[in-house]
Chain A
Amino acid sequence: MSYQANEKGYYGDFGGAFIPEMLYPNVEELRSQYLDIMKEESFQKEFKDLLRDYVGRPTPLYYAERFSKKYGTKIYLKREDLCHTGAHKVNNTVGQILMAKRLGKDRIIAETGAGQHGVATATVCALMGIECIVYMGEVDIERQAPNVARMKMLGAKIVPAKSGSRTLKDATNEAIRDWINNPIDTHYIIGSVVGPHPYPDMVARFQAVISEEIKVQLKEKENRENPDYVVACVGGGSNAAGIYFHYLDNPEVGIIAVEAAGKGIQSGESAATSALGKEGIIHGSKTLLMQTEDGQITEPYSISAGLDYPGVGPMHANLFRSGRGEFISITDKAAMDAGQELAKLEGIIPAIETSHALAIFEDRKFKEDDVVVINLSGRGDKDLSTYIDYFDL
Chain B
Amino acid sequence: MNRINKKLQEEQKMLSIYFTAGYPEPEDTVSIIQDLEKNGVDFIEIGLPFSDPLADGPTIQESSTKALKSGMTTNKLFEQLKGIRDSVEIPLVIMGYFNPILQYGVEKFCKKCAETGIDGLIIPDLPVDVYNEEYKSIFEENGLQNIFLITPQTSEERIRFIDSVSNGFIYMVSTASVTGSTSGFSEETRDYFKRISAMKLENPQIVGFGISDEETFNQATEFAKGAIIGSAFIKHLNANGKDNIADFVKNIRPV
Contact = CB atoms under 8 A, between A and B. Distances in A.
Contact of A295 (B99, B150, B173): B99
Contact of B125 (A19, A182, A278, A279): A19
Given A21-B124, A22-B151, A291-B99, A297 B130 contact: no
B88 interface: no
Interface residues of A, number: 35
B176 A181 contact: yes
A16 interface: yes
A21 B103 contact: no
A293 interface: yes
Q: How large is the interface on B (under 10, 10 to 19, 20 to 34, 35 or more residues)?
A: 35 or more
A25 B154 contact: yes
Contacts of B148: 21
A20 B125 contact: yes
B100 A294 contact: yes
Contacts of A282: 52, 99
A180 B65 contact: no
A297 B51 CA distance: 6
A169 to B, nearest CB: 7
B177 interface: yes
Contacts, number: 113
Contact of B126 (A18, A24, A283, A295): A18
A180 B176 contact: yes
A266 interface: no
Interface in B130-182: 130, 148-151, 153-155, 158, 173, 176-178, 181
A294 B96 CA distance: 13
Contacts of A170: 52
Nearest to B56: A177
A13 to B, nearest CB: 12
B212 interface: no
Contacts of A180: 54-55, 176-178
A295 B124 contact: no
Interface in A287-305: 291, 293-298
Contact of A177 (B50, B75, B127, B178): B178
Given A21-B148, A25-B151, 8 more contacts: A17-B127, A20-B125, A24-B153, A25-B155, A162-B58, A163-B58, A163-B62, A180-B176
